[in-house]
Amino acid sequence: MVKINENYQKLQGSYLFSTIAKKVGAYAEANPDRKIIRLGIGDVTRPLTPTIIKTLHNAVDEMADEKTFRGYAPDLGYDFLRKAVCDNDYRARGCAIEEDEIFISDGAKPDSGNIQEIFGNDNRIAVCDPVYPVYVDSNVMAGRAGDYVESTGRYSDILYLPCSAGNNFAPELPESECGLIYLCFPNNPTGMAITKDELQKWVDYANEHGSVIIFDAAYEAYISEENVPHSIYECDGAKTCAIELHSFSKNAGFTGLRLGYAVVPKELVRGGVSLNSLWARRHATKYNGAPYIVQRAGEAVYSPEGKKEIRGLVDFYMENASYILSGLKKAGYTVFGGVNSPYIWLATPDNMSSWDFFDHLLEDANVVGTPGVGFGSCGEGYFRLTAFGSHENTKEAVDRICRL
Amino acid sequence: MVKINENYQKLQGSYLFSTIAKKVGAYAEANPDRKIIRLGIGDVTRPLTPTIIKTLHNAVDEMADEKTFRGYAPDLGYDFLRKAVCDNDYRARGCAIEEDEIFISDGAKPDSGNIQEIFGNDNRIAVCDPVYPVYVDSNVMAGRAGDYVESTGRYSDILYLPCSAGNNFAPELPESECGLIYLCFPNNPTGMAITKDELQKWVDYANEHGSVIIFDAAYEAYISEENVPHSIYECDGAKTCAIELHSFSKNAGFTGLRLGYAVVPKELVRGGVSLNSLWARRHATKYNGAPYIVQRAGEAVYSPEGKKEIRGLVDFYMENASYILSGLKKAGYTVFGGVNSPYIWLATPDNMSSWDFFDHLLEDANVVGTPGVGFGSCGEGYFRLTAFGSHENTKEAVDRICRL
């Protein structure tokens, strides 16, 4: 008799966004006349920009011609894209990352779910609380999380790093040993960033303890303040302790196109083994490359026109973020994020629970957001709104919330 | 100190095709004047067909317009594609598979590497020998394979099912218990198929023992003979014991576009748990959907024009297969496969080892094939050629081999 992976039985409910989709679906069905505005899932809404579209068409045409047709992509990504990433996201910022340290993938979500596979199952992992659920759930599936404890809403073997208004949503260094540390800054869900000096402390900690930091930089393009690092490799010594994950979803609008990359420096060695070689092996065995046409689109993101257009997308969403921030502040809400990030994190009013506030907003303002507690127990009493709507919808949603 | 996944240390050498690529690269560099013909990797060479290209362009245009732009795809695939798959690949063949049993993915390689994750680490797995390396390597990484035994070229905890000329490359039922059974028919690498009656025996065995069959049907489109099953669900009772994997790579030429699907029937339950729900959870947590434009291209494969064009692609490659088969036979080689599959499996002459024959072919005919032993110890003394070249190159390669 085959045995299933019993760790899956420890997962709690279904994945956060599926639950929200079901709730919203039920409400919409029962109230077909209401116009629901979705500021919940972090999905972009602006179309792909002209340079990306043109590049996609060109690449599609290449696939139509025997002479330019492309079959299997190189396991780790096309050289043209690895070079563009390296030149623009690293060398231009003074980070000494090389092409063969870049691994092209179909997005930061798969990468952040899969990266734990190259580590042993007996590692203790540390995550911020609140946290992007994929870090936790992928480790639950692998058996690293221990048991779910109903009373705390946490897994017994995970080290949670509380992030709240009290510490300005910047976690303190762990007091007990942990092997793998997930950090995401600018943060999903809180929208808060940390300074280079603060991140340096984590790099020093990891190097001292032999830990590895998984640094999720998916929201890097939204950084507007000085002294907020765009890459962990801006910190001294990060190449010996950190893996960095990037996405083309939030800057260039590739959520439906799927492209991302991981940086695994060759200097990152544990137990005498290069993690770069482990990740390369994992890619070669369990993955088969991102589509050629999508990798060409990724390259176009770094062209002069592409950069200008992508800047326009980010600015568009950040205009929404400003509107949400200032509107909610004016209405008396306590709000965070929204300056270096498309996420606004608000304290629920009147000690409402996150899910009560979700229902309240859905039913009384027909606005969908994400309950903070869905991201961890420290998210209880908070609520996430995203800046990815249209100007019109965002404005209307904020106005509706302010009228509540 | 973080611990790495020590199972990776048990993997042998690098992935077969990477090794071949390095050998060929070195030869090409040392002999820049030679025209090397590659009949090694199973990568297609014909361009995408007009209907697919047109569909891709249309879908790209949708991504350029706010009103038709698509962000995150549904976790498990767009309904339009799940329906097209269901109608054409199952209902049309009398197999009662439903849309919510179809999971769209970025290809059969990732699916066949990832599917083991929903099973416990204490399962014994069974694979054919020779075998597509991904089944074995993904289980080595998960810790199910035991230790590599140099003298046998096998892992201690895997049950190998020998396939040779003696049993017409159809494995015998296992004599000892195994939980997870990987079967691929038409087979990669041998190119041999099994009849529906033979496959029914496996289904009966799995149902009797509570095993689960992972049935890789990537080469289904190449079946030309009657009584060779296109799907395992043509067998009675397969829905309670089998997962089926499909690819758009080999029929529609999507190796560089990336699209596939897995079928996990809802009736497939083990330990009281539906494997359909486990795979859905895995998808939702660690994957983020295939690109919209690629899923539209997949849908177009099932249009009347698409079907005609795809048939043309398969016929094109099968013309090569026939040429290789008859040419090598005439030259005195003992050959298998090539009738229901684009793979030709030949016995190396004069008791040469597979790698010696590889070197011989590379150096003396400038033809690249795949050493049989790269697929398992029972592949020693065999060699794989693929029908995916151009007519001209295939003809030239065969003629060169015949002149040796």
pLDDT tens by residue, A75-97: 899 999 999 999 999 999 999 99
A234 CB within 8 Å of a chain B CB? no
Rounded to whole angstroms, the Cα distance separating B275 from B267 reads 9
- Which residues from A are below 8 Å from B134, CB to CB? 285-286
What chain A residue is nearest to B212 in terms of C-alpha separation? A2
Give the H/E segment covering residue A116.
none
Separation in Å, CA of A286 to nearest CA in chain B: 5
| Cβ pair B211:A4 closer than 8 A | no
Decide if B145 touches A, using CB distance below 8 A.
Answer: no
Give the distance between the most distant pair of CA atoms in chain A: 66
Domain(s) labelled CATH 3.90.1150.10 in chain B stretch across 6-47+306-403
- The tokens describing B102, both together, are 């179809």
pLDDT at A19: 84
- pLDDT above 70 covers a percentage of chain B that reads 100
More confident residue, B177 or A323: A323
Give the residue among B225, B239, B167 at the shortest CA–CA distance from B196: B225
Which two tokens mark B89?
């690949």
* B366-385 mean pLDDT: 95
Q: Do A45 and B75 touch (CB under 8 A)?
A: no
The per-residue pLDDT for range A252-290, each reduced to its tens digit, is 999 999 999 999 999 999 999 999 999 999 999 999 999
- CB proximity A66 to B under 8 Å: yes
Nearest CA of chain A to the CA of B72: how many Å? 5
Give me the torsion for CA of B26, B28, B30, B32, rounded to 10°.
Answer: -160
Q: What is the pLDDT of residues B216-246, one digit of tens each?
A: 999 999 999 999 999 999 999 999 999 999 9
| Chain A touched by B276 (CB under 8 Å) | no
At A21-43, the pLDDT tens digits run 899 999 999 999 999 999 987 89
Q: What's the rounded mean pLDDT across residues A43-67?
A: 97
CATH of domain A6-48+305-403: 3.90.1150.10
B residues 283-312 near A, CB within 8 Å?
284-294
Q: Residue A14 — pLDDT band, cuts 50, 70, 90? A: low
Contact B283, A109 (CB under 8 A): no
Q: Candidates 2.30.110.10, 3.40.640.10, 1.20.210.10, 3.40.47.10; correct CATH number of A53-304?
A: 3.40.640.10
* Cβ pair A257:B292 closer than 8 A: yes
B141 touches chain A (CB under 8 A): yes
Residues A96-108 have pLDDT tens digits of 999 999 999 999 9
- Kindly state the average pLDDT of the residues B274-293: 96
What confidence category does residue B345 fall into, taking pLDDT thresholds of 50, 70 and 90?
A: very high
pLDDT for residue A15: 67
Residue with tokens 């036979």: B329
pLDDT bin (cut points 50, 70, 90) of residue B44 is: very high
Is the per-residue pLDDT at B15 higher than 70?
A: no
User: What is the SS3 string spanning chain B?
Assistant: CCCECHHHHHCCCCCHHHHHHHHHHHHHHHCCCCCCEECCCCCCCCCCCHHHHHHHHHHHHHHCCCCCCCCCCCCCCCHHHHHHHHHHHHHHHCCCCCHHHEEEECCHHHHHHHHHHHECCCCCEEEEECCCHHHHHHHHHHCCCCCEECCCCEECCCEEEECCHHHCCCCCCCCCCCCEEEEECCCCCCCCCCCHHHHHHHHHHHHHHCCEEEEECCCHHHCCCCCCCCCHHHCCCHHHCEEEEEECHHHHCHHHCCCEEEECCCCCEECCEEHHHHHHHHHHHHCCCCCHHHHHHHHHCCCHHHHHHHHHHHHHHHHHHHHHHHHHHHCCCCEEECCCCCEEEEECHHHCCHHHHHHHHHHHCCEECEEHHHHCHHHCCEEEEECCCCHHHHHHHHHHHHHC
- CB contacts < 8 A, A to B, total 252
In chain A, list all ranges with CATH 3.40.640.10.
53-304
Please identify, in words, the CATH class of the domain defined by B6-47+306-403.
alpha beta
Distance (Å) from the alpha carbon of A16 to chain B's nearest alpha carbon:
10
Q: What is the mean pLDDT of residues A122-131?
A: 97
| pLDDT recorded at residue B296 | 98
Query: Do A72 and B290 count as a contact with CB atoms less than 8 A apart?
Result: no
In chain A, residues with a C-beta closer than 8 Å to the C-beta of B211 are 1-2
Please give, rounded to a whole number of angstroms, the shortest distance from the CA of A226 to a CA of chain B.
31
**3-state class of A285 per DSSP?**
helix
**What angle, 0 to 180 degrees and rounded to 10, lies between the N-to-C axes of helices B304-330 and B391-403?**
10
Q: How confident is the model at residue B18 (pLDDT cuts 50, 70, 90)?
A: confident
pLDDT in tens, A191-227: 999 999 999 999 999 999 999 999 999 999 999 999 9
The answer to whether B392 contacts chain A (CB < 8 Å) is no
Q: Is the pTM for the entire model greater than 0.80? A: yes
pLDDT for res A17:
78
Across the range A388-400, mean pLDDT stands at 96
Cα nearest neighbour of B107 on chain A: A288
> B108-124 pLDDT, tens per residue?
999 999 999 999 999 99
Whether B386 contacts chain A with CB within 8 A: no
Q: What is the pLDDT of residues B285-334, one digit of tens each?
A: 999 999 999 999 999 999 999 999 999 999 999 999 999 999 999 999 99
Q: Do A4 and B118 touch (CB under 8 A)?
A: yes
In angstroms, rounded to a whole number, what is the distance separating the alpha carbons of residues A402 and A365? Answer: 9
Nearest to B141 among A15, A285, A287 (CB): A285
Contact A71 B11 (CB under 8 A): no
The pLDDT of residue A40: 86
On the 0-12 / 13-18 / 19+ scale of CB atoms within 10 A, B13 is: exposed
**Interface contact A270-B107, CB threshold 8 A:** no
Whether A316 and chain B come into contact, CB under 8 Å, resolves to no
